[in-house]
Amino acid sequence: MHPIVRWLVITAVAALASGSSWAADCKFDTDETDKFTKVRTLVTQRDSLESFWGDGSKRKQQDIYVSAYYHDGEQALNIQILFTNYVKRMPPEYELRNAIVIPGNSRLLLMMADGSIVTLNSANPVNANARATPTSSRVSVDSAASIYYPLDDERIAALSSQSASRIRVEAAETHYDFEIHVKSQDDIGNAIKCIQANI
């Protein structure tokens, strides 16, 4: 077989295998059943939705992770957002308080491949403080928040039927926008499908 033809065949087989095997590739951070209540909890392994290299900015970095969650018949999407800022001076304690404030019922907007917007609402209020760590030349200020957005059948169908390209996490008096890296655009749908296939 000609080397180019052989390479094309191998590539096509690999692509088909990766496309069809998401269910087999499901990885879970948690898959346990409570011995007393017999309630099952499933949490998929979290995936970063942004590029490994970030935006290259040295002053500010952000990342977003997603996992799907199942507990006692309820399903949710868990979004973790992380921010790192670099500043010259150690900030006073009061400036680190309430770095991320997400009131209960805040919206998560997901822009899907066809341009439609899927909206989820947060389950609980989230209030996260930042942490300052001096480095050799500057002070790194990190903040992180983990937010749960309950899923119903309609949202599950909408999110697992196509890929998502952008995310907006609405917070108190602001919002955080994330561009989903092209390689990660199926991750949200796949995480939900993993839960669906295993419950």
Partner 1 sequence: MKCLAVTAIVVAMLAASVDASAASCKFKQNTIDDFTQERLVRIDWVDMTGWTSSTFKRTIGHRKDIEIAAESVGGRSLLKFRLRLSDAVRKPPRESDLYSALYVPAGSGLEMEMADESIIELVVDKEVRGTNHAKYDDGWFVVTSKFVVKYPVDDALTERLAQEDVVYLRVAAQSRNYDFVSEQGTIEFHINEKAQRAFKKVFDCLQQAHAEDHA
CA distance 174 to 154: 27
Single-letter residue type at 30: T
Does 57 bind partner 1 (CB under 8 A)? Our answer is no
Q: Which is nearer to partner 1, 33 or 98 (CB)?
A: 98
Does 8 bind partner 1 (CB under 8 A)? Our answer is no
Does 139 bind partner 1 (CB under 8 A)? Our answer is no
Does 109 bind partner 1 (CB under 8 A)? Our answer is yes
Single-letter residue type at 57: S
Beta-sheet pairing, 40-44 with 47-48: unpaired
Does 2 bind partner 1 (CB under 8 A)? Our answer is no
Q: Which is nearer to partner 1, 38 or 89 (CB)?
A: 89
Which residues 147-186 are close enough to bind partner 1 by CB under 8 A? 166, 168, 173
- Which residue among 101, 111, 132, 144 contacts partner 1 (CB under 8 A)? 111
Does 92 bind partner 1 (CB under 8 A)? Our answer is yes
Does 93 bind partner 1 (CB under 8 A)? Our answer is yes
Q: What is the binding site for partner 1 (CB under 8 A)?
A: 89, 91-95, 109, 111, 117, 166, 168, 173
